[in-house]
Structure 1
Amino acid sequence: MMKNKMLVLSAAAGLIALSACNNTPREQAADNIEANAENVADSYDAAASNAVTPAAEDALENKAEAVREEGKAKAEDMRKHDPDTNLHNGM
């Protein structure tokens, strides 16, 4: 019984590892851009929940949304434009 569980868990871990390998370096970079933007935005959201005034809370929430949107735009640009052509992403 325990062997079967270990086999299933090992197979699942292997599949997850293989699926991660299918990402191109550019896709991984785009994913990292989005993840970083999300982390920064989450920090702004946390600060907004502790804001002293409603105006400060609104400003921080707006900043969080702007960071998310910018991260999405940069990641999309990374995915769509070939870095060798020096189009939008400037790489």
Structure 2
Amino acid sequence: MSIDLEVSALAVNVTIPQELRWTDTRRGEAFTLTTLNVRLLPDGTLAAKAYGRPVGGGRGAYVSFPVPDDPALAALVAGAAGRAGELWASHRGLG
């Protein structure tokens, strides 16, 4: 049986290495960005948003931040996408 499958989203989360983390401010609160959410868009390009924790501690709000235009971060995004592709390609089915 042949089924046309429509995959609406492909996304992975990747931890930002300590040396690449940065701080940004939203609504007057400073956040240290520790995680990237990388999405594969329908046209084959990648999009990424950063998430983190308030510098002052606590859980804080779940807000996204843009990823700065930095070659090291771009390489991290590309590397994460490539690694995710390898992992998806070698899946072993439902457990």
Fold match (TM-score > 0.5): no
TM-score by length of 1: 0.32
Q: Which structure ranks higher in relative contact order (CA pairs < 8 Å, sequence separation ≥ 6)?
A: 1
Q: Counting helix residues as a fraction of each chain, which structure ranks higher?
A: 1
Larger radius of gyration: 1
| Structure with the higher strand share, 1 or 2 | 2
The TM-score with structure 2 as length reference comes to 0.31
